[in-house]
């Protein structure tokens, strides 16, 4: 099979009509529920656009472990690019239609604008054009899927379940939206039967796996550019539930209204449902939560578990106890040694970009977090305030992600940022989207109800570190947040504070 073979039939000719991809973000018009998952043996040489991204790099790792030839492209050199080259991937810098010459299958991420020339050429070539999730499902076609879904908390829950399973010598395959500190990896092809996967609802790609057990951490309005409204999101999660084995377990958080709605649907359709939460009536009840600067401790009581005391290292905030409880209950369902699981979590190293520390400069502590939804930002800032900042000032640096999300949630973002003592808003990281006239980071900053001196809108990316250093004081805690490249500024912020404040301490 050769790349671009004009005689090869399209996977779904109607699904790849140019008009379906015409508008910004229109790569998501087609429901993932209709996508075809090809056999692994039919993939041939796979070309991955945006190969070093958090999800794509994990897919590349697993495909390479499967013996599949992999090529890809990225905008710039990085450590992730070099790591993939070492593993055997042929990675190009920059985008070109020439990259498709030897490809048999093209894999895309919805972060890519559908008008990009390489993307357009792939759709016109006749080769299969797959979402990441479809390619991942093909790569793990002989594994038993355990899916972790939800608007928030997926990465942490998936990571904890993976580390717990590894502690029980199960050697699961896994695909996570962040690198585990224990291994430095975000994906792995294990020898065991389990495939523990973070299931992404953003573009409906979580509908491309049929799981034997699943978690829904919460369900909120998000990715409305794809789902339309909250009702559309509920419909997508209902379809996700329909793909869980009837004799498998669906675990949902009873504290979350959206998850309760989906749990009710699952019960009506004959699924086996268990709940976890801090409220009365949860099957797995969480009590005694203590948020510490370097851990969270709590008790879980549930069927087959009794009462279990849990300490999870490196997680900050009371909300993390719910994520860990989901992983614990699922560990029990999978027959893992709960004692070994809990023991492994005491030394849990965390996940990159989840309250990740980046050192101290001039007495100013710098952290980074992936929070990018108003609920996540509020939870992260509340956790930082309670467990880390104490009586010191909290400086929040937020890079909004996508114009549509900024337009939809501007007021909610502003309300969340008010938790910080000083709110810094950067300009928008566009991802795949074209600009929306009048929508910038200032759309959020202008709504923050604080004195003008405590609100900073800085549209110049490179100017952010010095702006922060100009207002920071020894003892302050700075946390950067967002889906884009804001995390790359952490060391610069730390060093700028060190230059200005010297050896100051809290």
Residues with catalytic roles:
154-155, 198
DSSP 346-397: HT---BTTSSEEEEEETTEEEEEE---SHHHHHHHHHHIIIIIITTS-EEEE
In the numeric block, the tokens 């000032």 are attached to: 393
Helix (H, G, I), strand (E, B) or coil at 19: helix
* C-beta separation of 414 from 385 below 8 A: no
How far apart are the C-alpha atoms of 252 and 238, rounded to whole Å?
13
Report residue 323 as tokens: 């994520």
Strands 187-188 and 105-108: unpaired
Residue 111 sits at φ, ψ, to 5 deg, of -75, -15
Report residue 391 as tokens: 């009586």
Sign for the pseudo-dihedral over CA of 126, 129, 135, 141? negative
Strand partners, 310: 298
How far apart are the C-alpha atoms of 326 and 214, rounded to whole Å?
10
């Amino acid at each position: 099979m050769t790349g671009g073979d004009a005689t090869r039939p399209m996977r779904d000719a109607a699904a790849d009509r140019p008009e379906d991809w015409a508008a910004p973000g229109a790569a998501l018009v087609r429901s993932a529920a209709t996508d075809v998952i090809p056999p692994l043996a039919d993939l041939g040489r796979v070309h991955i656009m945006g190969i070093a991204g958090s999800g794509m790099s994990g897919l590349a790792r697993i495909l390479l472990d499967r013996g599949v030839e992999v090529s890809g492209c990225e905008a710039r050199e990085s450590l992730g690019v070099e790591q993939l080259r070492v593993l055997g991937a042929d990675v190009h810098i920059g985008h070109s239609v020439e990259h498709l010459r030897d490809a048999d299958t093209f894999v895309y991420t919805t972060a890519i604008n559908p008008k990009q020339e390489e993307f357009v050429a792939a759709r016109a070539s006749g080769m299969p054009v797959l979402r990441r999730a479809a390619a991942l499902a093909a790569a793990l076609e002989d594994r038993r899927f355990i899916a972790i879904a939800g608007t928030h908390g997926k990465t942490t829950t998936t990571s904890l379940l993976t580390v717990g399973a590894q502690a029980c010598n199960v050697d699961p395959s896994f695909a996570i939206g962040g690198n585990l500190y224990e291994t430095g990896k975000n994906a792995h092809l294990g020898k065991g039967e389990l495939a523990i996967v973070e299931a992404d609802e953003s573009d409906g790609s979580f509908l491309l796996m049929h799981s034997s057990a699943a978690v829904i951490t919460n369900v909120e309005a998000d990715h409305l550019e794809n789902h339309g409204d909250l009702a559309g999101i509920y419909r997508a999660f209902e379809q996700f539930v329909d793909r869980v084995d009837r004799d498998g377990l669906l675990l949902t958080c009873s504290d979350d209204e959206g998850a309760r709605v989906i749990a009710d649907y699952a019960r009506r359709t004959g699924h086996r449902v268990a709940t976890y939460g801090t409220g009365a009536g949860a099957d797995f009840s969480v009590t005694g939560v203590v948020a510490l600067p370097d851990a969270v401790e709590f008790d879980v009581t549930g069927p087959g578990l009794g009462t279990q005391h849990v300490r999870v290292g490196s997680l900050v905030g009371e909300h993390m106890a719910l994520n860990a409880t989901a992983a614990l209950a699922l560990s029990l369902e999978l027959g893992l040694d709960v004692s070994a699981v809990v023991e492994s979590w005491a030394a849990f190293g965390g996940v990159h970009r989840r309250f990740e520390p980046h050192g101290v400069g001039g007495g100013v502590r710098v952290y980074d977090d992936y929070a990018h939804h108003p609920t996540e930002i509020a939870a992260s800032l509340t956790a930082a305030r309670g467990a880390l900042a104490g009586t010191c000032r909290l400086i929040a640096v937020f890079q909004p992600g996508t114009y549509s999300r900024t337009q939809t949630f501007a007021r909610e973002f502003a309300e969340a940022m008010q938790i910080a003592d000083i709110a810094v808003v950067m300009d928008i990281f566009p991802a795949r989207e074209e600009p929306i006239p009048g929508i910038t980071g200032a759309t959020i900053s202008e709504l923050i109800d604080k004195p003008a001196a405590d609100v900073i809108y800085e549209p110049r990316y490179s100017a952010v570190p010095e702006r922060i250093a100009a207002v920071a004081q020894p003892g302050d805690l700075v946390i950067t947040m967002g889906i884009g490249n804001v995390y790359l500024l952490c060391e610069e912020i730390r060093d700028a504070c060190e230059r200005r404040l010297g050896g100051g301490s809290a």
